[in-house]
Chain A
Amino acid sequence: MAQQPPQNYGYMQQPIPIPQNGQHNNQGLVNGGYQQMNLPPNMNPVNPLKPPLTMPGQQQVPNITTSNVPLIQAPTSINYQNFQTNALYAGVNGSNSALSSRTSSPGIQQQNLAPNAAIPTSQLPPSKSYPSYQHLPGQQQMQSPVSMPPPLMNPQQQQSSSQFPMTPLSTNNSNVNNNNVSEASNNTQMPTNINPGPTLMPSSQLSGPPHLSASMANLTINSSVPNFPTQMPSSKSDQNLLNNNNLQTKQLQKRPMYPQQQQNPSMQPMNPSLQPMNPSMAVPQQPQQFQAMSPQQPFNNFPGPQQNVQQQPQQARENLQYQNFQQQPQPNQFPGSVVNQGFNKMWGRETIDLMQNRHVLPTTKVVSPPVKLNHQFHEATNCNPDIFRCTLTKIPESNSLLQKSRLPLGVLIHPYRDLSNLPVISCSTIVRCRVCRTYINPFVFFVDSKKWKCNLCYRINELPDEFQYDPVSKTYGDPTRRPEIRSSTIEFIAPSEYMLRPPQPAVYLFLLDVSSLAQQSGYLDIACQTIQEQLDNLPGDARAQVGFIAFNSAVHFYNIAENFNQPHEITVLEVDDVFLPCPDNLLINLKECRELINDLLQQLPKRFANEHDNKSALGAALQAALKLMNATGGRVTVFQTCLPNHGPGALQSREDPNNRSSKDVQHLGPATDFYKRLALDCSGQQIAVDLFLLNSQYSDLSTLSGISKFSGGSIHHFPLFNINKPQQVTEFQRDLTRYLTRKIGFESVMRVRCTRGLSIHTFHGNFFVRSTDLLSLPNVNPDAGFAMQITYEESLADVKTVCFQAALLYTSSKAERRIRVHTLCLPVTESLTEVMHSADQQCIVGLLAKMAVDRSLSSNLSDARDAFINATVDVFSAFKLAQNLPSGASGLIAPQNLSLFPLYILALLKQVAFRTGTSTRLDDRVFAMCQMKSLPLDQLIRYIYPDFFLLDSLFSDDTDKTDPPRLQLTAERLDSRSMFLLDNGVNMFVYVGSNANPSIIKNVFGKNTVNEIPDVCYNLPNLETPSNEALHDFINTLNEEKPFNPTIQIIRDTSPCRSLIVQYFVDDRNENSLSYYEFLQHLRTQVK
């Protein structure tokens, strides 16, 4: 262990080949070579295909006969056993039977597998159509297995063939080695007998599968330990491992544990058991033949039996290659031949064994899987995935198919996103379907030039003559040139029939808490100052109005009129039945009374500075606001610093500070429905209430949030705010500025329609559901995201595509009634494999997070946590069934597109909203839950799993600078010679290693040494050096899509603030949660 190089990411590296049984290998290769068509699917041996190569560090296993470590030791210690089978989404229980029946009837599965298991010749594309798939020439693939049986039949000979006939190949192409590593590692894990149930391996096969599995567990449990490089191996299992190592080295003739490349030739004598049995074997020729056939082949994409042959000799080398391999996870090559693999790749059906590829996060941005429609124009015009996204990019044709996949079906939408180019059209008649009122969109079908068929209800509608006119080219004729048909996101300026009343002025009312706690926090200065600065930037036309109400134990109104020379304060002491002291002049025109408003905002902070009133009558102030804005609607902004404890809606403190880290989290739900009912009243009057909570003590956000949740507002939280903390002041100012200046839509409603056969089940976000598909949003803002769960009403077997259309009707701040329409079109599929391979992991995680919040509120937090794990286990079990993997197979096979799913789920389990064991203030937890419900997906993912970059490439002198790679959030990635950047959307941390290059430090920070960087250091200096500019440019590109620029904090690795960044390393284990690898192991034991 002590020799373990730092780059050894959790795996032990020992290049000792495992003495493999030939039969085992034999079976796999034959199978792989001849394809599985004539085998019953269940007999399909997954792993035996793999060559007898082993994972570094796991090879000593067969020599050890005494390890008896409980396999599930790590998970059980975290108390995960009591899983209930309640998955998050409804209807899942019903599908249990479906799943189990599938296991018992392999015949059914064969159907689904067909495309995977073997490629019928009819499905092969015409050969000229894939010249680019060089590694896939059909003929060769068909040939190669046939040409290979002699070498393949006897793997022991392959091992003996470590006369290295093919070493040149391996040295030339490191990618091959990479492949080998993943295959090899697969192989070692294969014989683990962890899962109860039939193993497919012959019993005579290996002398030690159980031991292998046992020490495997050892290894893998350990593997999380080196995550913190400083941690000493101390646990029992560590010692076990050490012992094993000793044992191993003795038995294997004292070979070095970490041989270098030059030790390669010594490999052969190491394995006396693997002496050649059949000298006539053809292996040496094989790779040559292979090379001759296609010398330029990209081997990294060429999985299959051929490589098996080469693997033994490369074994030593792979240890070195393994480090490269970490960067780029290779798709797992389990059952299937070359043809199969190649086609899987072509069809986007790659799979990956998560147990082998711990570093699954791509170094570039995670993108949603593309929607593939059989229509190029439709594909090009489909809605931007940042706006509208579905958890499955291929919709299952029936509910039963969806249940088999165990994936949640829903759409996530960010309807009012700030867009740079949005086609806006103004026309007298907006073309809509007469039955379902769908807006015309790119995915409709034109029966002829006068008629169109609705793509949601399939009714044939007349096309108005006006629609023949193309406003861009100013010609008549082809309706498909209209902007409505050319863009799936479009905005209409609505005619008067879309208004219930004339557009109202933009009205902004500010409710300011002036209780003694508010005075202590000093927020009032900042808030008033920021509001004053941004008054000119408030969206609105000349009629825009503002108003101010301050509240402590009384409600203070400010009467401002043009003829006054200073604002008048009117105090209403009667808070139990609050009334408006004067009928007008409480809301005043922003432009006309600008001076007086400035005056008021300057006086307000001082006005209450000497009053020590510790009561807060928020309820009364809100009631007054409702009365004040009854006629016009608008936006109420509440600044609250303490628990409302006076008048209507008074609350008691419910949090027990000693209970903050307990498993059983109480009081997630509201204490009273006062705020909810008030929100509904506000919603009816088109008033939205936004809440800024700047509390220094428990303020019962779970109850207070109701006022924003149900009125379409937004919630902002600044825990422990104090004016003496400059960082918090900056954050608050930045957030408030963005809030005041961002676009706003008033009197808005959003309707989501979907193709007949589907219906909307549950909505997530801040709004009030007014009817089955209509959301009432008194205000809509560009930072609000929504989600809808979808259910089936009937089968979709007879349709090819499904469309979702979201139409947001709102009054802009310029008093225009507008409709923003987004349409998303998705294909329908009947194949379970396709469904699984089309899943959008980020979207699924986003939806699951929202569902889990609901579950925490309706049931409890531990239920929600269990549901996360069950959902993950279900998905992997379903995939295993869909792929027809044997139940005994080890590894955790995931489709490539779901490879990050466990990573995100684990991050969610450690998120403030769902974590247990760590001390978490209730308000913080509730706020995190509110964020889960209302953040748009791109921000939500960053909130769950922050972006982490290695910055070194920015400062290199090369001319072709690459973008800094993304890294997984684990401390093992930290390096004292490098600089890192962590971006969670709200904060950015630049982490500087203590041994970083001093010239770079000088260039970037203007400091001579790392130690000159202070412990608490905010903001990056602006220096005129290339490195500094490169970092600024990089940060600016990261900030492009964000609502506001995060604050930047620079952290030395020796700084006491280091914990700020370490807390985001969710892949690592901490006192009461699993590391990523342990989590995978836990999943593997659960996956049936």
Chain B
Amino acid sequence: MGFSFSAASYIVALIGDAFLIFFSIFHTISFDELKTDYKNPIDSCNSLNPLVLPEYALHLLINIIFLIAGEWFSLCLNLPLIGYHIWRYKNRPQGMSGPGLYDPTNIMNSDTLSKCMKEGWIKLGVYLLSFFYYLYGMISSLIAT
């Protein structure tokens, strides 16, 4: 067998991570548009909110695959981010009925906006780094077999 399950997990992670990178780029662009007045906060929030849970789910899925494949180190690398996601969703603005994190009435507060911007950039960085790590992991696991 020239193709182990761990290699497969890394391939899936690579593909998923590429999507995550797109998500976070989309977030950052949206917030930047908000900051520069190109977009209405209601529209922005309406387009961003439905993407929040899929992003978290995709990230969780990658880690479940790592768990199954026994890639403990990769899993550990991702645990803080999972924890952050849970914390972030728990502390979302009060009284939101739909899914999502962003409330159009307080997103324009400059504190909230800059926090969201920062979050977007940091996540983009994390996903990019993990993309290269997954690439390395995939190659090394392929070589090992």
Residues of A within 8 A of B (CB): 90, 669-674, 676-677, 680, 684, 710, 759-763, 768-772, 774, 791
Contact = CB atoms under 8 A, between A and B. Distances in A.
Contacts of A769: 41, 105, 108-109
Contacts of A763: 108-109
The A contact surface, by secondary structure, is mixed
29 contacts: A669-B94, A670-B94, A670-B95, A671-B95, A672-B95, A672-B97, A673-B97, A673-B103, A674-B97, A680-B42, A680-B104, A680-B105, A684-B42, A710-B105, A761-B109, A761-B110, A762-B109, A762-B111, A768-B105, A769-B41, A769-B108, A770-B40, A771-B34, A771-B40, A771-B108, A772-B34, A772-B35, A772-B110, A791-B110
A684 B41 CA distance: 11
A701 to B, nearest CB: 14
B96 interface: yes
B73 to A, nearest CB: 37
A451 to B, nearest CB: 28
A867 to B, nearest CB: 16
Given A710-B105, A761-B109, A770 B97 contact: no
B95 A90 contact: no
Contacts of A684: 42
A763 B111 CA distance: 12
A671 B95 CA distance: 6
Contacts of A676: 95, 105
Given A680-B104, A761-B109, A771-B41, 20 more contacts: A669-B94, A669-B95, A670-B94, A674-B97, A676-B95, A676-B105, A684-B42, A710-B105, A761-B110, A761-B111, A762-B111, A769-B105, A770-B40, A770-B41, A771-B108, A772-B34, A772-B37, A772-B108, A772-B110, A791-B110
A671 B110 CA distance: 25
Nearest to A676: B105
A751 to B, nearest CB: 10
Contacts of A760: 110
B47 to A, nearest CB: 15
Contacts, number: 53
A582 B130 CA distance: 59
Interface in B99-145: 103-105, 108-111, 113
Contact of A771 (B37, B94, B95, B96): B37
A770 B34 CA distance: 9
A768 B106 CA distance: 9
Closest CB pairs A-B (n = 5): A771-B37, A769-B108, A670-B95, A673-B95, A669-B94
Interface of B: 34-35, 37, 40-42, 94-97, 103-105, 108-111, 113
Contacts of B35: 772
B44 to A, nearest CB: 10
B107 to A, nearest CB: 8
A66 B94 CA distance: 56
A224 B105 CA distance: 45
Residue among A671, A761, A762, A771 having the largest count of chain B Cβ atoms under 10 Å: A771
A1021 to B, nearest CB: 50
A302 B34 CA distance: 58
Contacts of A673: 95-97, 103
Contacts of A674: 97
B138 to A, nearest CB: 43
Residue among A671, A674, A710, A770 having the largest count of chain B Cβ atoms under 10 Å: A770
A762 B34 contact: no
Contacts of A672: 95, 97
A669 B96 CA distance: 11
A759 B40 CA distance: 19
A90 B111 contact: yes
A411 to B, nearest CB: 15
A769 B111 CA distance: 14
Contacts of A762: 109-111
A561 B123 CA distance: 60
A760 B108 CA distance: 10
Nearest to B39: A771
Nearest to B109: A762
A299 B28 CA distance: 66
Contacts of B94: 669-670
B110 A759 contact: yes
B119 to A, nearest CB: 17
Nearest to B111: A90
A334 to B, nearest CB: 39
Contacts of A677: 97
Contacts of B95: 669-673, 676
Nearest to A775: B108
A677 B100 CA distance: 14
Contacts of B96: 673
Nearest to B43: A684
B79 to A, nearest CB: 29
Contacts of B41: 769-771
Nearest to B104: A680
Contacts of B110: 759-762, 772, 791
Contacts of A771: 34, 37, 40-41, 108
A774 B37 contact: yes
A712 to B, nearest CB: 12
Contacts of A710: 105
Contacts of B109: 761-763, 769
Contacts of A768: 104-105
Nearest to B40: A770
A671 B94 CA distance: 8
Nearest to A703: B95
A774 B39 CA distance: 12
Residue among B35, B95, B96 having the largest count of chain A Cβ atoms under 10 Å: B95
Contacts of A670: 94-95
A822 to B, nearest CB: 21
A673 B94 CA distance: 8
Nearest to B112: A762
A135 B49 CA distance: 69
A771 B41 CA distance: 7
A762 B108 CA distance: 8
A90 B110 CA distance: 11
A761 B37 CA distance: 15
Nearest to A709: B105
A149 B5 CA distance: 96
Contacts of B42: 680, 684
A670 B113 CA distance: 22
A673 B98 CA distance: 9
Nearest to B96: A673
A847 to B, nearest CB: 15
Contacts of B34: 771-772
A672 B93 CA distance: 11
A792 to B, nearest CB: 12
A886 to B, nearest CB: 37
B117 to A, nearest CB: 12
A669 B105 CA distance: 14
B24 to A, nearest CB: 22
A922 to B, nearest CB: 16
B49 to A, nearest CB: 12
B91 to A, nearest CB: 11
A33 to B, nearest CB: 51
Residue among A672, A759, A772 having the largest count of chain B Cβ atoms under 10 Å: A772
A763 B108 CA distance: 9
Contacts of A791: 110
A682 to B, nearest CB: 12
Nearest to A710: B105
B115 to A, nearest CB: 11
Contacts of B40: 770-771
Contacts of A90: 111
Contacts of A774: 37
Contacts of B97: 672-674, 677
Residue among A670, A672, A680 having the largest count of chain B Cβ atoms under 10 Å: A680
B50 to A, nearest CB: 15
B101 to A, nearest CB: 13
A654 to B, nearest CB: 12
